Structure 1
């Protein structure tokens, strides 16, 4: 059993961030120092435990190749989210807390997909609907800058749902006919 388990926890009133449990005790970070069971741990000392806990939670939320997804939803540099870097330096406590909360959701992978969709939409909205090189095609540009992001997410979710339902309904039309020997 891992020493550190990321999970939803009551938050302290002293400004710390409780991310889960370390050796069965609530683990609260104040900056880069964790406190659990009355003991203090520098993040560097428990960074291997952090990596193991992040790997478990991030796989549940984003799948086995979680590094790029974690970078996108957190806004961190992808290099910071690499396993070797986390194993050396850890991650900020609010990110550990969010991973634990997402992994504890009834459908963690769906939660991760929605987090990615939200991050992509917010990123698109923030950059003025343009790539660094060319103006993007209007059909793929995302909502105009300044539009209500929540309303836009709702519309996109409804459109995506309609597409999936249509694909499921039409799939039988696209199946190969049974061969005489298969019948």
Structure 2
């Protein structure tokens, strides 16, 4: 049985100029017998506008540890669902399997833990004729890899947060005079 009860991680990878491929997964990882397992099982229904799905590498290839994903943005069309359940899902799945292969997630606990991932997929992506799907995959893979590593390493630590409190600011506060 895993000693991991509740860990969280997040990461942001911004799109290149002219693309709407920002990736911002947020992940909760924990024991299937704890609060994460309960939340995971509770998410196995659908909510209008926020599709929930297992993270699969391909048909009949559900990842281990079991993972479920949902969109942070309201889904309004099938093109969006196609990107979410295609390119983005594949990137997250590959990142999870690679995290196990690379020892970030111990292989011996993959059936004892579950994860819930909320995913940012910009609503503009479904309408963008110049969408770079390769970049969409790359950004989501990189962000998910970082989020998983941070969750498993419990980063950033509170000491890091305190140390950089006055030197790192939220990007949306640029130009604002807020201390």
State the TM bucket, normalised to the shorter chain. under 0.3
Higher RCO (CA < 8 A, seq sep 6+):
2
| Higher fraction of helix | 1
> TM-score of the superposition, structure 2-length normalised?
0.25
State the structure with more CA Rg: 1
> TM-score of the superposition, structure 1-length normalised?
0.25
